[in-house]
Amino acid sequence: MKNLFKKFLNNKSGATAIEYGLIAALIAVAVIGGVSQLGSSANATFTTISGSM
C-alpha cells in the first residue's frame, strides 16, 4: 500500500494531461474570438456593398 502511494505521488502524467487541456482551451477561446471578430467585419463589409448596389 505504501509503495502504491509513492507511485501515485511520483506520477506526472495527470498533470501533463491537465496542462494540455488548458492549452487547448486557451487556443479554442482565441480561435472563437478571432472568428467572431472576423465575422462581424465581413458582415459590415457585405452590408456596405449591399447598400452601394
Q: What pLDDT is recorded for position 31?
A: 94
Report the largest interatomic distance among the alpha carbons of the chain, rounded to a whole angstrom.
78
End-to-end CA distance of the chain: 78
Q: What pLDDT is recorded for position 28?
A: 96
As a whole number of Å, the CA-based R_g of the chain is 24
What does 1-53 look like in DSSP terms, one character per residue? Answer: -HHHHHHHHH--HHHHHHHHHHHHHHHHHHHHHHHHHHHHHHHHHHHHHHHH-
- Tell me the pLDDT tens digit for each residue of 1-53: 778 777 766 777 777 888 899 999 999 999 999 888 888 888 888 999 988 88
